[in-house]
Amino acid sequence: MPPLDLLADTLGPQGLLREAGDVAPYAVDWRGVYRGRPEAVLRPASTAEVASALRLCADLGLTVVPAGGRTSLCGAAVPTEQGPPSVVLSLERMNRIRALDPLDLSLVAEAGCTVESVQMVAEAAGRFFPLHFGAQGSAMIGGALSTNAGGIRTLRYGNARDLVLGLEVVLPDGRVLDDLRRVRKDNSGYALRHLFMGAEGTLGVITAASLKLFPPLLKRETALVAVRSPHEALRLLARCQASGAELVAFELIGRPCIEITLKHALNVRKPMELSTPWFCLVEAGSTHPSIPVREALEAALMVALEAGEAEDVILCESEDQRRNLWDIREGFPACSRQEAPGLPTDTAVPVSAIPDFLDRCAALIAERYPEGKMVAIGHMGDGNIHLSLQAPPGTTHADWARRGTGFEERVGEIAVELGGSFSAEHGIGQSKRAAMAGLKDPVALSVMRAIKDTLDPAGRMNPGKVLPPG
Amino acid sequence: MPPLDLLADTLGPQGLLREAGDVAPYAVDWRGVYRGRPEAVLRPASTAEVASALRLCADLGLTVVPAGGRTSLCGAAVPTEQGPPSVVLSLERMNRIRALDPLDLSLVAEAGCTVESVQMVAEAAGRFFPLHFGAQGSAMIGGALSTNAGGIRTLRYGNARDLVLGLEVVLPDGRVLDDLRRVRKDNSGYALRHLFMGAEGTLGVITAASLKLFPPLLKRETALVAVRSPHEALRLLARCQASGAELVAFELIGRPCIEITLKHALNVRKPMELSTPWFCLVEAGSTHPSIPVREALEAALMVALEAGEAEDVILCESEDQRRNLWDIREGFPACSRQEAPGLPTDTAVPVSAIPDFLDRCAALIAERYPEGKMVAIGHMGDGNIHLSLQAPPGTTHADWARRGTGFEERVGEIAVELGGSFSAEHGIGQSKRAAMAGLKDPVALSVMRAIKDTLDPAGRMNPGKVLPPG
């Protein structure tokens, strides 16, 4: 039987797409930047079917690209353009919540549940699942864990891996690694689950996860603060951290980001006069009405104003006002793409090095790319700034990408020089393999390769991702 | 040159102990349960010296047992009795704090710093390092991370691995893996650091770590609550979690534990009438004076009393009273050894399964070990109960160990049947290798073995630990 017929036989009619029109959506990432040519799409509906599919692919020597919501910004979930013949393994039909225990503050979700659906299930049970990022309506748990997604609330709750109690993983040879425990302490050998989180499907396929829940945030207080410099933003962060108001988010937003969003987004309003170059979007939360979070945040902001370390402050009076601030923040990436081509980056530095990082990036742009404009926005509380080099009006994407050759790598280098990382929360995928080759510790790279060769000796799992060509 | 002379040459006169009297303390664990015969003790003073030493040991084919404070309860840090000729590699001379940044809330400590010294350095800088367990005055950071230590405060701050931003590790062949970053987001490839945490020195030697700090706890409120059953304790936990008082610890203590400690410990006082079989030691904390943590905790305790779910409550009025409660809790392990031989266990189950777990263990004891007495104490908020089977008066250790054959394994089995772990916070070391063979998922074991073979193909790092024979 031809290979695809064998797979069809194993997975049933809903489990295999092979018509060109059905396969096409899985061949390209959502921004249309990465495009491959999968032979078919496997859509298993259970862990047992994932195991059968991977066993069969191993027998047939087929290359497998695991995919969830396919919202990766680095092309992790589509086959590479020049890669070997491959199938996409979509987890979309594995979308059950297998268990929910409010008392244990835990939930077991299959890989194909969207991040947002997990948030909603937790909320309905009076609990809170804190993972939160722009693509959460499409992004699926399996992908969010495979890439160790970050986002807005890591300041308080950590990255995706920090929210995991246990994993179920199907290995490249079809064996099932069952570590789906719901306990908070488990020291029975090597922490294998952490190997699969951040591996972007190159070591196996995450099929389900036991996730931590938290008490719900009953109150949120949100403020926008106009500051003159990243130094002032840093001082404000320290004041807020010491205020007793538990910070849930602390975003740094450059003025151009707000201007661009006000220009392109529907339904957002100018929140204040944009008289300073930088703004901080601060959110604090509390899990109980007795905690005076508004008073604490307000006091910190007043002290900053009086000390001349902030130019202007809005402390939201309504959910509508709060929503407007977050719409501006979260609307920026899409609006930015409407405004002009950009060269985005995703780095992290120690929080105290952010002013230095921004100064050095500004100097780099002034020296080498003077026609470009620096736009910076990001999760300041984690040191994770998304800095982009925006093209002058009228430049095409292709021209700007050529002009900006080396920009992303150089920004990554600056981050590494400051003790940081050239890849903070988006992962490596296809787009940062060159940076991996140039900036990652060679010993770490060699250990990664050894582990890859051990778990996937034939190199069939998501080839051309994460590890640099070697 | 003979091997030990070569090592002496590399490490200098302070760097090598070879006289029997100098080596003896490293041959035995602190409880005197595990005893090996190391040929010498290496005491490198820097990462470069650890690297040279491991390179040389690789060349010489010497087996290496990494050691820190040697407080493991599982014999992880002493050579096995029947093992191959080995040297102990003590990290005790690597005890510098390399960096401290209060604004970043981070600190870089070498492996030989004691856990307590890291707490003190953080405190002096107005910050808080939350890892806290009985042996913290002797236990060193390298060992605490290699075993992913747990303790009292994991409920709020996580296990040791959750407190790590980056690691420096010397691999078995002497290469240095430099992942000592201080950033909170780093998705540049596989999360190698998590592999070394929990590996108990079988994959390499942790030489330094970048650790997370927290704002200090300015207020702590501590209560002892008498409850009639683990079910009531569970209800109390839920009430406290919903109270707005941020829990830092929630310990379950069986009445016999308090009685034993009152009998043997100096300087502890009876805190209340011991009229119920179970007690909860509850601590909540706040990072700011404006947070009404006492009021919140008090309200929760009053509701529990009024609902008839608690029999008696003490909310501490003084640091002296608080200290007394913790002295009782933390004094128990030593007092228990004075009282009678015991067969201790270290399991975790989902929090909601604790009553069932205790019921099933009680039934096991009644059926198979009726002359023994169940004593249980532990970190209820993490589901981590330390249950021990205490010998009747006059029994010797050796007799009781023989009589209790299979007890620890059966308790581990019950935990696993309830979705938990047979090894919660103490690790595997030598003592739980049989349990690993019997209770760990065979696929996980096979992946662990494959990783071990990849990173330490000659099997020279801490042989006879963690992985079962096979």
CB–CB contacts below 8 A, A to B:
270
What per-residue confidence (pLDDT) applies to A444?
97
* A395-403: long-range contacts, CB 8 A cutoff, minimum separation 24: A395/A340, A395/A341, A396/A341, A397/A341, A400/A341, A400/A342, A400/A343, A401/A341, A401/A343, A403/A369
Based on the number of CB atoms within 10 Å of its own CB, is B312 exposed (0-12), middle (13-18) or buried (19 or more)? middle
What per-residue confidence (pLDDT) applies to A3?
84
Mean pLDDT, all residues of chain B:
96
Min Cα distance B421 → chain A (Å) is: 6
How many Å apart are CA A164 and CA A182, to the nearest integer? 9
Residue B324 has pLDDT above 90, yes or no: yes
Min Cα distance A170 → chain B (Å) is: 10
The residues with which B279 forms a beta bridge, in sequence order, are B226, B253
Sign of CA dihedral B249, B252, B258, B261: negative
DSSP-derived secondary structure letter, A470? -
| Torsion angles phi and psi, residue A166, rounded to 5 | -165, 160
- Closest C-alpha to A38, from A5, A67, A68, A15: A67
Cβ contacts of B190 on chain A, cutoff 8 Å: 195, 198-199, 203, 447-448, 451, 466
Name the least confident of A38-52, A122-136, B72-86, B303-317.
Answer: B72-86
Q: What does the buried/exposed string (b/e) look like for A345-363 if buried means 16 or more CB atoms within 10 Å of the residue's CB?
A: bbbbbbbbbbebbbebbee
Q: Which of residues 190-219 of B touch A (CB under 8 A)?
A: 190-192, 194-195, 197-199, 203, 215
How many Å apart are CA A266 and CA A269, to the nearest integer? 9
What per-residue confidence (pLDDT) applies to A144?
98
Q: Which amino acid is at B183?
A: V
Preferred mutation among B167, B187, B219, B294 to probe A, highest tally of A CBs within 10 A: B187
- Closest C-alpha to B274, from B286, B283, B263: B263
How far the first Cα of chain B sits from its last, in Å, is 35
Task: Please state whether A194 falls in left (phi above 0), alpha (psi between -120 and 50) or beta.
Answer: alpha
DSSP-derived secondary structure letter, A100? E
How many Å apart are CA B248 and CA B226, to the nearest integer? 19
Q: How confident is the model at residue B33 (pLDDT cuts 50, 70, 90)?
A: confident
Cβ contacts of B150 on chain A, cutoff 8 Å: 185, 187
Name the least confident of A216-220, B39-43, B90-94.
Answer: A216-220
How many Å apart are CA B411 and CA A121, to the nearest integer? 34
Neighbour tally for B214: CB within 10 Å: 16
What per-residue confidence (pLDDT) applies to A409?
94
Based on the number of CB atoms within 10 Å of its own CB, is B377 exposed (0-12), middle (13-18) or buried (19 or more)? buried
What per-residue confidence (pLDDT) applies to A2?
84
Instruction: Give the pTM.
Output: 0.96
Cβ contacts of A428 on chain B, cutoff 8 Å: 187-189
Going by their DSSP bridges, the two strands B63-67 and B16-17 should be labelled as: unpaired
How many Å apart are CA A17 and CA B213, to the nearest integer? 50
DSSP states of A371-431:
TSEEEEEEEGGGTEEEEEEEPPTT--HHHHHHHTTTHHHHHHHHHHHTT-BS-SSS--TTT
Q: Which ranges in B94-205 belong to alpha helices (H)?
A: 115-124, 141-146, 154-157, 192-196
- Yes or no, beta carbons of B181 and A234 under 8 Å apart: no
Cβ contacts of B194 on chain A, cutoff 8 Å: 191, 194-195
Nearest beta carbon to residue A215 from set B162, B242, B448: B242
Taking CA–CA distances from B236, the nearest residue in chain A reads A103
Q: Give Cα separations from A389 to A90, A109, A340 (angstroms).
A: 34, 38, 10
Q: Which residues contact B332 (CB under 8 A, 6 or more apart)?
A: B253, B257, B260, B261, B377
Q: Which residues contact A152 (CB under 8 A, 6 or more apart)?
A: A132, A133, A249, A251, A379
Sign of CA dihedral B353, B354, B355, B357: positive
How many Å apart are CA A115 and CA A135, to the nearest integer? 9
ipTM above 0.90, yes or no: yes
What per-residue confidence (pLDDT) applies to A470?
74
Going by their DSSP bridges, the two strands B86-90 and B40-42 should be labelled as: parallel
How many Å apart are CA B250 and CA B221, to the nearest integer? 12
What per-residue confidence (pLDDT) applies to A289?
87
What per-residue confidence (pLDDT) applies to B437?
95
How many Å apart are CA B130 and CA B127, to the nearest integer? 10
Residue B470 has pLDDT above 80, yes or no: no
The stretches in chain A having pLDDT less than 50 are none
What per-residue confidence (pLDDT) applies to A31?
84
B289 interfaces chain A, CB cutoff of 8 Å:
yes
Query: Residue B214: helix, strand or coil by DSSP?
Result: strand
Neighbour tally for A247: CB within 10 Å: 19
Q: Give Cα separations from A328 to A267, A270, A321, A322, A324 (angstroms).
A: 10, 9, 11, 10, 6
How many Å apart are CA A56 and CA A62, to the nearest integer? 8
Which pair of tokens denotes residue A226? 């106009």
What per-residue confidence (pLDDT) applies to B31?
84
How many Å apart are CA A174 and CA A419, to the nearest integer? 39
Biggest CA pair distance of chain A: 77
Q: Which ranges in B107-219 belong to alpha helices (H)?
A: 115-124, 141-146, 154-157, 192-196
Q: How confident is the model at residue B2 (pLDDT cuts 50, 70, 90)?
A: confident
B302 interfaces chain A, CB cutoff of 8 Å:
no
B451 interfaces chain A, CB cutoff of 8 Å:
yes
What per-residue confidence (pLDDT) applies to B153?
94
- Closest C-alpha to A217, from A326, A120, A128, A299: A128
Q: What does the buried/exposed string (b/e) look like for B251-288 if buried means 16 or more CB atoms within 10 Å of the residue's CB?
A: bbbbebbbebbbebbeebeebbeeebebbbbbbbbbbb
| Torsion angles phi and psi, residue A330, rounded to 5 | -85, -15
Q: Which residues contact B188 (CB under 8 A, 6 or more apart)?
A: A421, A422, A423, A428, A432, A436, A439, A440
Angle between helices A354-368 and A407-417 (to 10 degrees): 150
Rounded to 5°, the CA angle A213-A214-A216 comes to 125
Task: Please state whether A452 falls in left (phi above 0), alpha (psi between -120 and 50) or beta.
Answer: alpha
B295 interfaces chain A, CB cutoff of 8 Å:
yes
Cβ contacts of A177 on chain B, cutoff 8 Å: 441, 443-444, 447
Q: Give Cα separations from A147 to A33, A159, A201, A421, B393 (angstroms).
A: 18, 10, 8, 15, 56
Quickly tell me which residue has 């220009």 as its tokens.
Answer: A263
DSSP states of A195-215:
HHTTSTTSS-EEEEEEEE-B-
How many Å apart are CA A455 and CA B447, to the nearest integer? 8
Cβ contacts of A105 on chain B, cutoff 8 Å: 351
Q: Which residues contact B124 (CB under 8 A, 6 or more apart)?
A: none
Q: Do residues B115 and B107 lie in contact, with contact meaning Cβ atoms separated by under 8 Å? A: no
A182 interfaces chain B, CB cutoff of 8 Å:
yes
Q: Do residues A244 and A315 lie in contact, with contact meaning Cβ atoms separated by under 8 Å? A: no
Cβ contacts of B287 on chain A, cutoff 8 Å: 244
Preferred mutation among A72, A152, A183, A206 to probe B, highest tally of B CBs within 10 A: A183
Min Cα distance A183 → chain B (Å) is: 5
